[in-house]
Structure formats: structure tokens, C-alpha cells
Amino acid sequence: MASGIYFSGLASGLDTESIITQLMDLERIPLTRLQQRKNQYNVEKNAWHDIYTRLSSLQSKLGDLKLASTFTGMKATSSNTLALTATAASNTAAGSYQVSIIQLAQAHKVASQNLVYGTEAQLLTDTFTDATYTSSVATLNNLTQDTANGLLKLASGATGSITSNAINVNAANGGRLALTVNQQERLNANYVYQYRTFDGTTWSEWQTLGNLTGDGSGIFKSHTLTADISGNVQQVEIKATLNGDFGASVIPMLADWTATFQPAEPVTSDTLALGLSGSFTITVGSETRNITINENDSLQSIASLINAVPSEGETGPGAGDIVTASVIDHRLVITSKTTGSNGAISFSDPDGVLNKLGLVDASGVILPRAVIQDAKDAVFTVDGLTITRSTNTITDVIQGVTLNLLAVTNEPLRLDIGHDTQKAVDAIQAMVDQYNSVMDFISTKAGDKGDLQGDPTLARFQNDLWQLMTDRVTGLTGAYQTPWSIGISTGAVVGSGTLTFDRSGKITLDTAKLTSALEADSSAVMAVFTNSSKTGLVDKLDSYLTSLVRSGDGIIPSREQSLQNIMDDIDDQIARMEDRLTMREEQLRRQFTAMEQALAALQSQGNWLAGQIAGLGAYQQK
């Protein structure tokens, strides 16, 4: 519509705006027809693109059917997949094996003591008793162990002692040591209980907790002895000494204890500084890595320092290439990245850092209580032969077979190696399904209400595809020369034994027949789909589909481009017609404006003449 202000029929009284609109509607009929033609071409273009998409998808399904591994692949089947899984290469010989898993390979794993604590009393050792004494808990001096009766004995008139091994405390600001003892009150039996502390550098002198003399009652009494300790307490040792004249050659020690330590200030987070500093090394196999920490490092930051990966060829800082470190329940856990005995972890601890963390003893040897998981090799048997490997994934025992050991077995399991027919069946079924989808879609688009109704090119495509999927393959001999000989047909077999043909050209797949053919001669089945002469079903179908969908010169992309060119030309025609219609509307407005102006002038002259006549009549009457 032309721009500007326009007043309709001021002189004529006509609805000139409505007249112009109706005239322009008549003028726009050719434009409307052009837009309708463009819309129809766009519908056709979209329909062709949908066909292009489905044909491209069908071509993608052919990829696996070109691979020999699809038809000649082997599979490994375990009778107990919770204990063993396996895969087989295509060149693996078929066979059956008896496999027993005696031991799984595992990585060495160690953990520090709990390094986060509150101000509540912490149990430092298990309750010590004569009966449960072992050298991992304490050492003896001048006492003999009666293992038959579970007693520690002391000769009359002599002095003997029990000294606990170093107990990690890591209380930077000291705390209260409490020792609860349960002793038999023997006459003339004198018990002295002592402790000493380690501040990270030196051990203190022995300090007395209590000096108790038996009252002769012979009954057991409990005593609690305490000491408030200041300063940095990293470790504590406790010693019980017994002496006296008992009147008998030997007496049982009979002094049991439980020790606790209540820190003066808590360490409440894995991210708080531990106040430890120094260096240590971690070794796995022939690889050694260096770690250095300072007094501001926390449990979490120590784990991060260990997990750092050193530069290639360097031994530090960090050991992330040979171990992993984590913090679990406030304990530093270090795990070897190498399973098996060759992956065992060892430490060097010259500054006592790991000793203070409760990982190693004073000589750098891992403490027994710090070991969470030993480094072990996998041990298993195959057909009675005992085999050891450092990993649970084994590739060098049965040629072409990868074994994945998952659990120890109580009895032998069966491992069968055979042809993997399912892979080929799945690939062929995927092709058949997509082919049927394409044929269904083409039938819909070419049908009575389809967007490409009666299109001869589309009809030719449908016929060509059907021929390619059902033709005999040339150059083949033997039982399998055609698609239907391996289970592909153009309809399902009904009771009469005849085939029911699908008008859209769809096909069916008899998977049982296909499986039987694959088991009988997988190479011959493969030749039906692809062969060196390129006469197979897939060979020809792939070539034909390429001619249809190839970018640039493919039939369908060319058709889409042709339709796009037509629509672009129509757009140009529409633009030119819009310009002409705008000019025509402006012309009509000018013409109607001129008419209104002429009518207005005539009306003005008529009014003037009427006035003159009326004035003349009045004069004559006088």
C-alpha cells in the first residue's frame, strides 16, 4: 500500500479505499499464484531431502557389511561371567577350555593412621593382655612367654618389663595420657608404669605414670594413671616394669592395660596443617619419586603433592605416574598403579615424615597395620596348567583371546571360543530394517496423497532398490549365490508355502536361515554381500546409493538444487511484481484523488452559481 495520508470520497461520497483494495486484489492474483507455485516447489524439495536423509542412513548401514570381521569374527563365551569374561580375535581357533581362578592380581595399598581427631580420648592400642601379646604390640625384657597358658612370667627376685612399640599421636599441642591397668594384687609385687614421648626429633626421658605395689589380696584391681603432657607429641611409648620377692620361682606378669590420649587441641579437618616437614621417596619397581612437604601441608595437600606427575625423565616432584593418593576417613591412602608383585610400594623416610603419619617404622619399613592390600599376582589355571600374571587382563595365554579375571572361583568354569554369527545377523538386520523404512517412505511420498505423487524418478528409485536387493549375485558358486539363499526374501512364507509380496518392495529376513548359513560357510555368505569382483549386494547397492546422494553431482542433491533455483527465480518474479503492484496502487490513488479534486471544483462552482441565481431572484422581487 502507498504511504501518506489519504481521505476517501470526501467529494464523491464513494468508498474509494474499498474500490482500490478490490482492484488491487484482482491485480495480485498472478502474485498469489506465484507464491503457491513456490510453496509447492518447497514441499517437493523438502520431500526429496527427507528421501536423501533416509537413503544416506541406509548407506551408513552398509559399512559393517563390507568388513570381513563382521562375518568371520569369533566370540568367547564364559560359563560364569561374574568371574571371567573374554574376547576373541577373528583369527582365533575355535575350542573349549577349563579355567580356574585361584587368586586375582591386586595393587599394593597402604594407609596412614587417622590424622583427624577431636578432643575426645583416642584409643592408642588394643587392650594389652598377657594372652594376646605379640611382638607387633610390645617388646619383652627378662620375661618369658608361656604360650600354652597365655602368660608372661617373671622369675622371683628379678626385674622384667614390657615396652609398647611407638604409638603415633601427632598432637602438636600435647594433651592428656591416660593408662588404665588391671593388675593382680600379689604380695611384694611392685608395678612401675612409665611413658616417654617423641617430638619429631628426639625421645624424652622415661617419665613415671604410677608406682603400684600389690596389697597381697590376690584379687584383680583396676587403676587409672594420668599425665598431662605439653609440647609437640608425635609418638608415645609405654612401659610396665615388675619386680619383687615373690617366694616362688616364677609368677605370671598379669598386668593388662588400655591407653588413651586426649589432645589438648583438635585437628578437625583434612585441610588443616599437620606441622610436618621433610622429604621422602616412593618406589614402585625400578621407579623412584621424590616428595617434599612443609609444616603448612595438610593431609589433603600431601595427597595432592603425591599425585603430581613429574616431567618426563624426572624423579620429582610428585609420584602421580606410579601411585595414586587419596584421603579416606581422614587417612592418607597410597595405591600402586601397577598390579601384581612387581607393583609393590616401598618408601625411604630419612626425615621421619611417613613414620609420623603412621605408615612406616623408624627404619622406613611399612608397618603391618598400615597395609590395606598386599601386592599380589593373578594365579589361575587353563586346562590344568597353573599360570601367573601380574594383571587381571591377560592377552598372552590363549592365542587371540583376551581374558578378564573378575573373581576367584570354587570350581572350574568353561570358556568356549566359536563363531560370532550374531554380529553379522545384527548388521544385516539393521540394513534390512533401514531398507524397509526407505521403501515405506517412498511409497508414502509417491502415493495418492504424497508430496511427490506420480514422480517417475522416485518410482525408478524404488524399482532399482528392489532389484538390487533381490538379484542373483554373479560370479558365485556353491549353495549361497542369492539373497534368498541366506534368508532374505520379498515376503513371508505363509501356510501354502508361497511368498506374499509387499507392494512397497519391502523384504523380510529369516534370521534362523541366515544363522545356519553363517555357521556352515561364513565366507560364502560374506561373498553374497561383498566380494573382490564387487558384484555383491552391498557392493552394488553402495555404488547406486552414492550416485543418488553424493554431494554436488548426486541425483537427489541436483534435484534439490534445481528446485531451489526455480524458487529463487520465483522470488525474483515476486519482487518485481510487488514493485509493479506498488506503482499501480499509487497510480490508482492519484487517479481517484484527481477525480475527487475535479468533483470538489465542480461542486464549488455549482454552489457559487446557485448563490448568484438566488441573489438575482431576490433583487427582482423588490
DSSP sequence for 506-547:
--EE-HHHHHHHHHHHHHHHHHHH--TTS-SHHHHHHHHHHH
Q: State the pLDDT at residue 278.
A: 93
Higher pLDDT, 14 or 100: 100
Contact 280, 352 (CB under 8 A): no
Q: State the pLDDT at residue 538.
A: 95
Contact 189, 242 (CB under 8 A): yes
Contact 148, 190 (CB under 8 A): no
Q: State the pLDDT at residue 617.
A: 65
CATH code, residues 126-263: 2.60.120.200
Q: Rounded CA gap, 14 and 390, in Å?
A: 103
Strands across the sheet containing 122-123: 122-123, 255-263, 175-184, 220-229
Q: Per the structure block, which three cell numbers stand in for 467?
A: 532389484
> Above 60 in pLDDT, residue 540?
yes
Q: Which helix (H) or strand (E) segment is 84 a member of?
A: strand 84-88
pLDDT band at 200 (very low <50, low <70, confident <90, very high): low
Dihedrals phi, psi of 321, to nearest 5 degrees: -85, -15
Q: State the pLDDT at residue 407.
A: 96
Burial profile 281-305: b = 16 or more Cβ within 10 angstroms, e = fewer: bbbbeeeebbbebeeebbbbbbbeb
Nearest to 355 by CA among 345, 343, 367, 344: 367
244-266 pLDDT, tens per residue? 655 555 555 555 677 888 877 76
Q: Which stretches of 261-366 are DSSP H helices?
A: 299-307, 353-356
Higher pLDDT, 152 or 615: 615
Q: Per the structure block, which three cell numbers stand in for 104?
A: 586375582
Q: How many helices (H) and strands (E) does the chain have?
A: 10, 30
Q: What is the mean pLDDT of the chain?
A: 83
Q: Which of 216-230, 554-568, 606-620 has the highest mean pLDDT?
A: 554-568
Which residue in this structure is represented by grid cell 548426486?
A: 554
Contact 113, 331 (CB under 8 A): yes
Q: Rounded CA gap, 385 and 412, in Å?
A: 12
Contact 199, 233 (CB under 8 A): yes
Q: What percent of the chain has pLDDT over 90?
A: 37
- Strand, coil or helix: 229: strand
Contact 130, 162 (CB under 8 A): no
Higher pLDDT, 536 or 182: 536
54: which DSSP letter? H
Q: State the pLDDT at residue 126.
A: 36
282-310 pLDDT, tens per residue? 999 999 999 999 988 989 999 999 999 99
- Strand, coil or helix: 621: helix
Cis peptide before 368 (omega within 30 of 0): no
Range scoring the smallest mean pLDDT among 92-96, 274-278, 323-327: 274-278
Fold of 108-116+273-373: Immunoglobulin-like (2.60.40)
> Above 50 in pLDDT, residue 458?
yes
> Above 70 in pLDDT, residue 500?
no
Q: Which helix (H) or strand (E) segment is 617 a member of?
A: helix 555-621
Q: State the pLDDT at residue 340.
A: 95
Ramachandran sector of residue 137 (left: φ over 0; alpha: ψ -120 to 50; beta: rest): alpha
Range scoring the smallest mean pLDDT among 167-176, 207-216, 243-252, 515-524: 243-252
- Strand, coil or helix: 273: strand
Contact 500, 491 (CB under 8 A): yes
Give the gyration radius of the chain's Cα atoms: 49
Question: Measured in Å, how far apart are the chain's first and last C-alpha atoms?
Answer: 58
Q: State the pLDDT at residue 454.
A: 82
Q: Rounded CA gap, 622 and 618, in Å?
A: 7
Domain spans in the chain, listed from the N-terminal domain onward: 16-45+558-607, 47-73+421-552, 76-103+388-416, 108-116+273-373, 126-263
Average confidence (pLDDT) over 164-184: 78
Q: State the pLDDT at residue 35.
A: 87
User: What CA–CA distances, in Å, run from 163 to 154, 195, 393, 446, 598?
Assistant: 15, 9, 47, 97, 131
Contact 66, 537 (CB under 8 A): no
